[in-house]
Structure 1
């Protein structure tokens, strides 16, 4: 058996591979010839086997090293089995390996975007004619998933919401409870949570399967091959899944969103409520923010710290953008000022980055893993040059709102969280503007002021009339 140079972090041992090999050869038959680690948020291995001369590939999907969401790992396998029973194309499941804990399924041919911001910065996501064809097929499959009876989803342990508040937020609230359990002070999420609770769409009573992280599928040429990554699937409002497309694009290029939505609307046979999708965009981006937020303080082996930091800035800013569109607030942008040199810190970080890039590659330390380590001093170098500007401006903004100047950013977070806890809707606009400016500063630092950098990409509006034009175009096309 061989292990690819992209298979493992330095902390992973040969014993772990031996356990994967033992389970595979005992339960799948054949002989393991290769194990290849994939570049994903969580440990995922492609396992290649020789079975009487035939090559077969499987996926072993582990959970993240830290709690990133509130669902048990095996939940995804149960949900994939429900989807398969309803003729939804998913990878065939082969079982659950208990050591290491992994869901085992067939490797399905097809391509996809990785969904990582920093990888998309390195290689921009594109929409090809073939991928667009598969995307339209996905919208039809998504409509079919949303028609699966809720009883089937409840039967695998999913909580069934009891009222409009729970339909909208029971999934989100579980993530927010995790933030509080971690003891994380985050005024953005405190504000977003209170705003979501005050603005629940009370007319929504349909309970459907929600994939939770929609738009994830493999395609081969123009054909969709399978739906995957439903680890946070739950029962709620199916329009939350449409909001996912707004949140994921353009890190994963989804193409013409109004045209996709119009295609889904026709497949489902029900009109879309655009304000509900607008509301759920805030909720989806809030959920998307929690995962990297939980990762920042972790010191577990592996992971990608800079990806988490960049996602917090990027997703946090876009969450506020989505909220601003819903309440009708025009946000003001500004430019990154000239850097303030810090020669000693800069020289030290440049030296550290250069030394990290010189670390030798081995069978258990791949080039992409070395790049992940070297990205930390690169990130800190940009922060060093602009940190004082960002912190001074953040503290100035907060002093104008609260009437006193916090000592530092930790004190600012505590004071702002306390203010948010007692703030009514009359403060929504002021808090929206303050938080947008705070997160925009971080995105400007990450992008070095380049307005075309992915970190500066805005959420596509949904309440601007483009959806109506897409409906008209589809009506003409089907005549």
Structure 2
């Protein structure tokens, strides 16, 4: 509760980033501050609802806003279709704002064509990946993106940057506030629609055909399906590559959790499947060897049974229970790696060296060599896609028991 000198009180919400000592977080803070200030001030009443900004504390990367009550769990909505239309209508209103206004200066250069910014980002992500663990899965996707940047359809607009279920609050069929603005930027309006589609892989939403129809009705602009599909892949790379680079640091624990493995495996599979589909490349599943578990398997089974039957039910708080479930995912991963890891690694290494005989004789080095060859356009692209597909099929098999439906989740067919 914020109390003023005259005794007036205002219920507020304080949000802060625990990484305040990391200078790389400041641009995210500045963008979120700028958009909230604009939508709370000169653009209040523009049709985009946010929690009004009260104050900022840059030294702590903290934002103070008015408290807005609302539910963020879309599956609990009473009328999902009506709520989705209201949300998409707010995105259309956001895209109509004048990106040239100085209020949005922190979001980017409004005179820069979206395609130019996209090319610059892709080039940066390629360099980032090559310098930090060079992964052929990301390089094959970035190579396709770089060769197929869609021509600009208009000037850059203001984007949410992470639009979709979970990032808005609602009461009934009304939007209470759009939240989580740290990825806001200027760009192609189809990006926000693509983000909804990617987020719906994990968080259920209404059919994308309904989303597109709502956007066309609210914006008066046609949805370009091919462009949205491009931006689905572009959006996935925008967070996957930086996250992988951070995880590759020596001693890093980033991504080394059951949830990190689960979602990382899912996104890699979808990335490769997207590249194959967008490039018109027919891939075939590799044959997976039948690997029998050895004498250690019963210890994994005991650990999983203890977690399921004793530890989780007896957990004294929600955090402890969540951590136990995280550990169960890791045990399931270790169990499959113990029985299948060596065979899968040997198969992948043999495939890379068959395509590139000069590749190193160890898997890490061979993957890096393949990634560098893809970046240099020195290897057959379709063959590289097939090898990446083989790898994600094997990695998904390792994680399948922990992934459930995420092992097969895919975008709805709108063609």
| 2:3 maps to 1:29 | yes
Give, in whole Å, the separation in 1 of the partners of 2:122 and 2:168.
23
Note the 1:11-410 alignment, pairs <5 A.
Answer: 28-29=2-3, 56=11, 58-62=13-17, 64=19, 71-85=27-41, 86=43, 87=45, 88-97=48-57, 100-113=60-73, 126=75, 129-152=78-101, 154-156=104-106, 158-160=108-110, 162-163=112-113, 165-173=115-123, 175-176=125-126, 178-179=128-129, 183-215=132-164, 216-297=167-248, 305-333=257-285, 338-344=290-296, 347=299, 351=303, 354=306, 366-373=320-327, 375-403=329-357, 406-410=360-364
Aligned equivalents of 1:457 and 1:186: distance in 2?
Answer: 23
Aligned in 2, Cα 1:429/1:295: closer, same or farther, shift over 3 Å? Answer: same
Structure 2 residue 398 is matched with structure 1 residue 445: yes
* Shift, 1:134, TM fit: 1.3
Quick check: 156-165 or 390-399, which moved more? 156-165
Q: How far apart are residue 302 of structure 1 and its match?
A: 9.1
Structure 1, 331-340 or 205-214: larger mean CA deviation: 331-340
Contact 1:167 1:235 in 2 (8 A): no
Instruction: Indicate conservation of the 8 Å contact 1:444/1:456, yes or no.
Output: no
**TM-score, normalization by structure 1:** 0.72
Contact 1:288–1:315 under 8 Å retained in 2: no
The answer (yes or no) to whether the contact 1:161–1:235 under 8 Å persists in 2 is no
RMSD, aligned α-carbons: 3.7
Q: C-alpha separation between the residues in 2 aligned to 1:285 and 1:262?
A: 24
CA distance in 1, matches of 2:171, 2:287: 42
Alpha-carbon distance between aligned partners in 2 of 1:364 and 1:131, rounded to the nearest angstrom = 28
Q: Please give the secondary structure, in 2, of the residue aligned with 1:104.
A: strand
- Which structure has greater helix proportion? 2
CA–CA distance in structure 2, aligned partners of residues 55 and 382 of structure 1? 54
Partners of 2:32 and 2:184 within 8 A in 1 = yes
Q: Distance in 2 between the 1:336 and 1:127 partners?
A: 40
Residues in 2 aligned to 1:203 and 1:78: alpha-carbon distance in whole angstroms = 25
Aligned length: 402
Q: Where does the alignment leave 5 or more consecutive residues of structure 2 unmatched?
A: none
